Chains A and B, each alone.
Chain A
Amino acid sequence: MKLSLLQTNNNRRGAGYRPAAAGAEVGGGGGGVGAEGSLKSSMSAFWLLLHGLCCVISLVLGFRFSRLVFFLLFSPANLHPSAPVFRAIATRTTKTTTTTTTTATLTVSFPSSHPPPVVSNATASQSHVVVGRHGIRIRPWPHPDPAEVLRAHRIIERVQSEQRLLYGVQNPRPVLVVTPTYARTFQALHLTGLAHTLRLVPYPVTWIVVEAGGLSNETAALLSRSRVQFLHIPFVESMPAEWSDRHLTEARMRLRALRVIRERRMDGLVVFADDSNMHSMELFDEIQKVKWMGAASVGILAHSGKPNDRQLSEEEKQNFPVPVQGPACNSSGQLAGWHTFNSLPYAEKSATLVGDGATVLPRKLEWAGFVLNSRLLWKEAEGKPEWVRDLDAVGENGEEIESPLVLLKDASFVEPLGNCGKKVMLWWLRVEARADSKFPSGWIIDPPLEIIVPAKRTPWPDMPTDIQSELENTKQEHEERRFSRTSRSRSRSSRRKGDTQRQDK
């Protein structure tokens, strides 16, 4: 449409200028003819005549005829399938042919470089779709193009975020994750897993990490690498070596975090994510339904350090409890009680010290299964229910804080989550290394190890066999002594630089 308008403008301009130019040139040409030689004059006369003819035709037709001839002569021979060219011609020949309509309902209507297919002319009465045998069109490189795969993934992301917007949670609240931790061998394992989980949560997350024994570089390094918004809070006491004490200390650390939330009036849903637990993504979607306080079912993975050396008899299997802690509902879906962990079958075999190779038992109700609305903790909040105790009153007298129910006056208002506790969305696990285990600071081995021992199975090709067998002996000794320095340095590339194992705490 625009093109034809431009064209008419040009036409008008062309038509306006043409007669003047023609007149001038005819005059000039006439003068020129007489002045120059006969041969030159005949050539110029010929061109002049041609030019004049074109001008007259242009005047008559009303557009620049010469340009069209030029275009038709020198455009690619194969006009028919390349539709952009076809369309260009159509707009120029305004009066002559019946131009095609828009590239009709047949083609894709988005702006792209792909030419639309051949448009059936208004005059064509038979279909251009031919019955019979057709070739199978295969492009020269029939393999995925990485740029397009990337674009497709962006489209999928966009569609999914739209779906989440429409069908997911409306007005999602931010999530405040409270994690008690302390620096030890398995801390990197636990915190890395938790950091990855929190990065996947589709809501704004603030990770409140309370560290026993004050702030340490280990924890700080792990947190800064996590790319989650975090708050690192020191806790003066250090983590005790016995499990029973550890549970209590952790409870006090969590209360410390809750006090911070209260002071800063942080808004959101408080989730107690212990660093060794495993959380599913559905949990974070489910907690958005919590109004004031919710409880979810926690799968308890009470494992023993040793592999099962005896098969459990049928009777024992029945006696072993279903390892789930959480809300119990009556038939009408109301909270009726609590499933707690029955620790009797494990009584003799439970671990006492952190790092024991025995089963670690949870408390009756773990903190991990509870979710709070942070406004419960604030001093004043709109609509704060009366069945909540003031946070300052909790833990004042040094009382033992067993579970979050301590925060409530009346525990019957807790909302059960996950289809009334039927769906287990997180798992509780306690795994720690032996108490005397050491690990390189920041998990960076620097300087390199003192002894470099070749692999046992594949003999080094250039090493003489007697040295090799001695090295194998030393390797066995090393395994027994656990990283202690040896005076025999047999390997050619040994260095005496001091103990490479950093003794940490």
Chain B
Amino acid sequence: MGMEKGMWVFALLLCCFVYDGIVAEDPEHGHRTERISGSAGDVLEDNPVGRLKVFVYELPSKYNKKIIQKDSRCLNHMFAAEIFMHRFLLSSPVRTLNPEEADWFYTPVYTTCDLTSAGLPLPFKSPRMMRSAIQLIASKWPYWNRTEGADHFFVVPHDFGACFHYQEEKAIERGILPLLQRATLVQTFGQRNHVCLKEDSITIPPYAPPQKMHAHLVPPDTLRSIFVYFRGLFYDVDNDPEGGYYARGARASVWENFKDNPLFDISTVHPTTYYEDMQRAIFCLCPLGWAPWSPRLVEAVVFGCIPVIIADDIVLPFADAIPWEDIGVFVAEVDVPNLDAILTSIPPDVILRKQRLLANPSMKQAMLFPQPAKPGDAFHQILNGLARKLPHDKSLYLEPGQKVLNWTAGPVGDLKPW
């Protein structure tokens, strides 16, 4: 009797050891990396193929191809995700040519490609362009009217998403384009309790060129010797001469408090060794600018530098799949004067754990938009996010003739044809 019991206990213990061995250590990487599990689970490596079907509308090329032909700089700036998403979907196995079996509908309209001479996108024509595209798909295909866009998704990577303005006050005034009220928005902007963040939209990282970043990798045994690193503007004298508007004063606060601190390698001078320096730093500051998000987050993750996010209420990319609190350090804007105390009082074990999470290749891959697409990259995370919303609720489907959207809402200028 005792022997049997002992045998069972032994077997149980053995199972526990084996289970621990599988779960705790990633066998390929040993103790170097840690598995990432966000609130949605270990979903970074999920394969969306087979879980959803996407139908891509065929729009006239004036909405997409002609725009790139006019200005090819759109392929390199941080809003290029909209263009690459289109290209990815065209050749992806989730694409279906039969709209009847599609779960999601994608409209390829490049609203962020009207660039100034300096390369900054002008959003003034974007609402009309989007409206014109929607009118087209509503008239040519029946699927828009079926749900008034509830099973459609749009990529709107500009500063404040579908509010289509770069100034926050104006963007809040405009609000999200009324026609997109029911659609799912895929955008880089994310801030809680903000007019321009629609509920259950998918937040994506801004586009950063993967080849350029991988060309600047240094060997991993290069010792990290910079404590805090940041390169960028602290004051935007052209657009904010008085001061206090840009970055809600947070960047200026960083400068004024830490400009003579040897631990903080911060300046506005952008060196040629920017990527290499990030790989030699332990913390990289990612403060808000005019909008809360920034490509620095992507760069920090790719180069293994712990991101210090200074942006109140920000919603980070793929927040349901990536546990950002475990990976990065969040500092409230009011606490910026104490940034050095905050960062130096983090226990070293916590810092090492964050570095291990960052070293996980699936984490780095999830932030990038490589061409051609690779498994686990940002395109797949977007599809995973869309797949997690399926199946569509029955209430989304409207009765024929039932209208929910107001086609004449919004500023008068938006109603003009594009």
> Complex Cα distance A106/B225, Å?
28
Q: Which residues of B contact A117 (CB under 8 A)?
A: 312, 332-335
Q: Which residues of B contact A397 (CB under 8 A)?
A: none
> Complex Cα distance A112/B346, Å?
9
Interface string of B214-243 (1 = CB under 8 A from A): 000001110111010000000000000011
Chain A residues bordering chain B, tally (CB within 8 A): 46
Q: In the complex, what's the smallest C-beta–C-beta distance from B201 to chain A, in angstroms?
A: 16
Q: In the complex, what's the smallest C-beta–C-beta distance from B349 to chain A, in angstroms?
A: 9
Chain B CB within 10 Å, residue with most, of A134, A154, A163: A134
> Complex Cα distance A170/B67, Å?
55
Identify A144's interface contact among B263, B329, B337, CB under 8 A.
Answer: B263
By a beta-carbon cutoff of 8 Å, the part of chain B in contact with chain A is 32, 168-169, 172, 191-194, 219-221, 223-225, 227, 242-245, 248-250, 252-253, 256-258, 260-263, 282, 312-313, 324-325, 329-338, 340-348, 350-352, 355
Instruction: Check if A137 is an interface residue, CB within 8 A of chain B.
Output: yes
> Complex Cα distance A107/B344, Å?
16
Q: Are B352 and A162 interface neighbours, CB within 8 A? A: yes
Q: Are A134 and B282 interface neighbours, CB within 8 A? A: no
Identify A138's interface contact among B172, B244, B250, B337, CB under 8 A.
Answer: B337
Q: Are A155 and B344 interface neighbours, CB within 8 A? A: yes
Q: In the complex, what's the smallest C-beta–C-beta distance from A129 to chain B, in angstroms?
A: 5
Q: In the complex, what's the smallest C-beta–C-beta distance from A389 to chain B, in angstroms?
A: 37
Question: Is the contact region of chain A dominated by helix, strand, or loop, or is it mixed?
Answer: loop
Q: Are A127 and B224 interface neighbours, CB within 8 A? A: no
Q: In the complex, what's the smallest C-beta–C-beta distance from A250 to chain B, in angstroms?
A: 35
Q: Are B348 and A155 interface neighbours, CB within 8 A? A: yes
Binds B, one of A8-16, A118-126, A296-304: A118-126
Q: In the complex, what's the smallest C-beta–C-beta distance from A136 to chain B, in angstroms?
A: 4
Q: Are B325 and A156 interface neighbours, CB within 8 A? A: no
Q: Which residues of A contact B244 (CB under 8 A)?
A: 133-136
Q: Are A163 and B193 interface neighbours, CB within 8 A? A: no
> Complex Cα distance A256/B385, Å?
72
Identify A155's interface contact among B168, B194, B227, B332, CB under 8 A.
Answer: B227
> Complex Cα distance A159/B228, Å?
13
Q: In the complex, what's the smallest C-beta–C-beta distance from B303 to chain A, in angstroms?
A: 14
22 A–B pairs (Cβ distance < 8 Å), ordered by A: A105-B325, A110-B346, A116-B332, A117-B312, A117-B334, A127-B191, A127-B193, A129-B193, A129-B194, A131-B169, A131-B172, A134-B245, A136-B252, A137-B334, A137-B337, A144-B260, A144-B340, A148-B263, A154-B348, A155-B227, A155-B348, A158-B352
Q: In the complex, what's the smallest C-beta–C-beta distance from B255 to chain A, in angstroms?
A: 9
Q: Which residues of B contact A160 (CB under 8 A)?
A: 223-225
Instruction: Check if A2 is an interface residue, CB within 8 A of chain B.
Output: no
Q: Are B343 and A152 interface neighbours, CB within 8 A? A: yes
Identify B253's interface contact among A125, A136, A149, CB under 8 A.
Answer: A136
Q: In the complex, what's the smallest C-beta–C-beta distance from B260 to chain A, in angstroms?
A: 6
CB contact under 8 A between A166 and B224, given known A134-B248, A144-B263? no
Q: Which residues of A contact B335 (CB under 8 A)?
A: 114, 117
Which residue on A lies nearest to B30, using beta carbons?
Answer: A166
Q: Which residues of A contact B351 (CB under 8 A)?
A: 155, 158-159
Q: Are B257 and A139 interface neighbours, CB within 8 A? A: yes
Q: Are B263 and A107 interface neighbours, CB within 8 A? A: no
Q: In the complex, what's the smallest C-beta–C-beta distance from B374 to chain A, in angstroms?
A: 24
Instruction: Check if A167 is an interface residue, CB within 8 A of chain B.
Output: yes
Q: Which residues of A contact B219 (CB under 8 A)?
A: 167
Q: Which residues of chain A (76-123) have a CB below 8 Å from chain B? A: 105-110, 112, 114, 116-117, 120
